[in-house]
Chain A
């Protein structure tokens, strides 16, 4: 699987993501600078975590208008898989590739801790190596992870089974609507999530359950 990780000014988990992709897929991903206008030929594009443009204006709002994003949109329409993690999820929402918005955490503080995630749709390219309803441990680290959208969109997301991950066992760390931790687009090739599976991949992390996400993609696109 060939992958690219977009680097925006202020991205800061891009190295974690590059490492995870290389360790799990066995192929070195390509780091792509935000000012580029064309993506290399890849199967997966990842928007990593961080504070692109310092989170100034709104999280992800400036990065969503970066030159490279035009091609990210174009490639996503042709079926290339796109994943946004944390700030990447915020950017995908701001870019209109996913519906809704990530607001300030309800307790107004940054939060870094382990949460439990339930796989609420194991039938996607990003989750097929998990089982339906499986609950796994994953860290979060964000100040703006409180997912919100209007009632109609929420009903559609739920109705179309597009909520992929939900905070489980009372661990919702931010006040997200319906405990939403990750959603997917209608076509099933663009997914965003707030938690950091790239920091849950080896014994050192205290758990390896994030690997299944990358292994799912490896199986789905290979």
Chain B
């Protein structure tokens, strides 16, 4: 028997985030009262963040396979074949709770964690993106969180040396007490040199690598599985501290070590640190694991087994190594001044045993901790289907042009330059399209192959209609990839929701998953990795449902890429897809009219999305188009303004439809692209579109230094640009209300 120094009380159990029925399950499983170390291990493995106990049932419904999928969800990241013996390895993960408590370190370690997930599998990171959501601009904490999170994302990625090339930034009062920091990373590897976490072989050494273990981040994963209240500040010690310098050394050392052939299995220490990594390696390989904590490199003295098993100190790895190559492996880590210690071994009895000072501190069944953790079928109620909002019920603005200028300067629509100029988006020298376009494009090696990346979701759509919103997040990714000429390959999802124990929140989750699944099936766009972040609530109020989607596309030849910028004067401007003037949940209705009712968001026609997208891609690849931009937030006129500003060339357009002008200009109908081409090619292009059954309408021509919509006053590009560029720096230059 293991001695119990600390009495396991109901209070202690509750503090570990374990429900009474879960504790009963532990008692049934081990047939005795757990030790404090064991209780900590269970709480680490069975919390929502690590076990996916509320979401698993629904995640299983997503399509995860395809001809290019080498490895789907369940590993550190998804792996997709990009031809020529190469693979792209990518994933997105949230670091929401820590980023609100301690914005700089929370965001920095979020970036560090996702980079580690990628290079753990043998890939050198080539791109980072991030989807950030903050509270209302006027909330006293927002500016502080924005400045800390952006600096943290940059601070880690810039030092590590990966280009941060895109993402999203949005503001909404539902994030006042719960910001979202969703970090995406992608890395490149050879398909025959990919490393997995499944341990193989009995009696092999388990090696600890990287930085030392300290007391930071203890219970981080448990914290991330609970709601916030007014005492959130007290949780600051649960946030980890990042060291990008160590991570860069760890990257180089790991890749060098992998090249020696010494690595049998590898798992990074992320959430729930040593516990989670050791259990995953053993459980996946149907092996037991025995650890002697006296061998773990520590940076503090007197750490208990409990603390060591729950520490979330950063920049650490666990590996199973080929014993014949141990000396070689050790030399690599010595070169990079990183710790290297054999701390345990694999066993054949499926037990997870922990020793400290010669005493057995934990002895648990490894499978039940890991892949056989509890699972819930939480009750859910579907979000009622909202009613369609007719454009005739929406007030028209007095002045369309002035409204456009106002929209371009809204917090959710203004240029994000202030953000992305703090990110090194050029390092590695392969950035072909950086931040600010539809999708970012990175050349692979010396080319000609390239990859495109985008992150998208419209939380206000998801809130009004989770299923349509879920679909829309996927199709917007799909459009953004097609718009640069890339073939959409696969996605990763980062599902951020409130408390799943509330049936209406669970209903949002289920609805979004159903929408995402439907879209992925219709587009042959599998989900290869992902992350779920629940309990994003403060004082009982949840965030907008935010299933952020990250997507990757392939361009066989980088010279084919198109950008949003108008390229020349006198070119025809054509809208592909149907403009129906859907105003429900549009930026216009929300921010200009000020209506936040439960109106239906724009419906998604998956079949139309598919063939419109395929048509655009084919046209780009035959070099027929000079500029392409998908139509999303803000609508058609906003898309045109963005193209004009990017190219420094104006345009004259006419809304030659039966729609009222504001519905035409600001409606957010899906499935649309704006394209330009030399006027000589227009007739043939229209014929090809008709043949492909893609609606195509010539709406005007590029040229001049103004954007002119017939029936409204011309607007100079200079005034569009100043409105678009001014908001972010002006806002951030205001006083820090928290420090005031």
| Chain A residues near B (Cβ < 8 Å) | 9-10, 12-13, 15-16, 19-20, 50-51, 53-56, 109-113, 139, 141, 143, 196, 198-199, 201, 204-205
Contacts and interface: CB of A to CB of B under 8 A. Distances in A.
Contact of A204 (B151, B155, B158, B443): B443
Contacts of B624: none
B34 interface: no
B697 interface: no
Contacts of A16: 427-429
B75 to A, nearest CB: 26
Q: Which of A12, A51, A53 has the most CB of B within 10 A?
A: A12
A12 B337 contact: no
Interface string B184-228: 000000000000000000000000000000000000000000000
Interface stretch (B98-106, B417-425, B467-475, B571-579): B417-425
B336 interface: yes
14 contacts: A9-B249, A15-B428, A20-B429, A51-B158, A51-B159, A51-B245, A53-B245, A55-B159, A110-B158, A110-B422, A111-B421, A112-B425, A141-B426, A205-B429
Contacts of B423: 110, 112
Given A12-B248, A51-B245, A54-B244, 4 more contacts: A10-B159, A10-B245, A10-B248, A204-B430
Interface in B117-154: 151, 154
Contacts of A204: 429-432, 443, 447, 558
Nearest to A141: B424
Contacts, number: 78
A203 B160 CA distance: 26
A198 B429 contact: yes
B93 interface: no
B537 interface: no
B243 interface: yes
Nearest to A23: B446
A139 B159 contact: no
Please provide the 10 A-B residue pairs with the shortest distance between their CB atoms, ordered closest to farther. A54-B245, A12-B161, A51-B159, A141-B424, A16-B429, A112-B424, A110-B422, A10-B245, A199-B426, A110-B154
B422 A19 contact: no
Given A139-B426, A141-B424, A204-B432, A12 B160 contact: yes
A135 to B, nearest CB: 19
Given A55-B159, A110-B155, A112-B421, A9 B245 contact: yes
Contact of A51 (B244, B428, B429, B432): B244
A50 B161 CA distance: 7
A143 B154 CA distance: 10
Nearest to A15: B428
Contacts of A110: 151, 154-155, 158, 422-424
Contacts of A199: 426-427, 429
A65 B248 CA distance: 20
Interface of B: 151, 154-155, 158-161, 243-246, 248-249, 336-337, 420-432, 443, 447, 558
For chain A, what secondary structure do more than half of its interface residues adopt (helix, strand, loop), or is it mixed? mixed
B243 A196 contact: no
A217 B660 CA distance: 63
Contacts of B428: 15-16
Given A110-B154, A113-B421, A204-B432, A13 B245 contact: no
Contacts of B249: 9-10
Contacts of A51: 158-159, 244-245, 248
A183 B725 CA distance: 33
A113 B336 CA distance: 32
A201 B245 CA distance: 28
Contacts of B160: 12
Contacts of B245: 9-10, 51, 53-56
Given A54-B243, A54-B244, A12 B427 contact: yes
Contacts of B246: 54
B310 to A, nearest CB: 26
Contacts of B244: 51, 54
B158 A141 contact: yes
A10 B532 CA distance: 32
A106 to B, nearest CB: 14
A106 B130 CA distance: 26
Contacts of B429: 16, 19-20, 198-199, 201, 204-205
A56 B248 CA distance: 14
A204 B560 CA distance: 12
A195 B212 CA distance: 35
A34 to B, nearest CB: 11
Q: Which of B246, B248, B420, B429 has the most CB of A within 10 A?
A: B429
Contacts of B158: 51, 110, 112, 141, 143
A56 B155 CA distance: 13
A9 B424 contact: no
B443 A141 contact: no
A211 to B, nearest CB: 13
A204 B429 CA distance: 8
Contacts of A196: 426
Nearest to B160: A12
A120 B154 CA distance: 32
A28 B52 CA distance: 50
Contacts of B421: 111-113
A56 B243 CA distance: 10
A53 B337 CA distance: 11
A155 to B, nearest CB: 33
Contacts of A143: 158
Given A9-B337, A16-B429, A204-B430, A112 B422 contact: yes
A204 B447 CA distance: 10
Nearest to A14: B161
A196 B158 CA distance: 14
Contacts of A9: 245, 248-249, 336-337
Contacts of B243: 54
A13 B427 CA distance: 7
Contacts of A10: 159, 245, 248-249
A76 B243 CA distance: 34
A204 B557 CA distance: 12
B332 to A, nearest CB: 13
Contact of A12 (B159, B432, B443): B159
A90 B155 CA distance: 18
Q: Which of B161, B246, B443, B447 has the most CB of A within 10 A?
A: B161
Contacts of B431: 204
Contacts of B161: 12-13, 50
Nearest to B418: A109
Contacts of B424: 110, 112, 141
Contacts of B159: 10, 12, 51, 54-55
B422 A111 contact: yes
Nearest to A9: B249
Nearest to B417: A113
Contacts of B422: 109-112
B505 to A, nearest CB: 37
A139 B447 CA distance: 22
A110 B427 CA distance: 14
A76 to B, nearest CB: 27
A88 B246 CA distance: 20
Nearest to B443: A204
B634 to A, nearest CB: 25
A207 to B, nearest CB: 12
A56 B160 CA distance: 14
B422 to A, nearest CB: 5
A56 to B, nearest CB: 7
A55 B443 CA distance: 29
A50 B432 CA distance: 21
B424 to A, nearest CB: 4
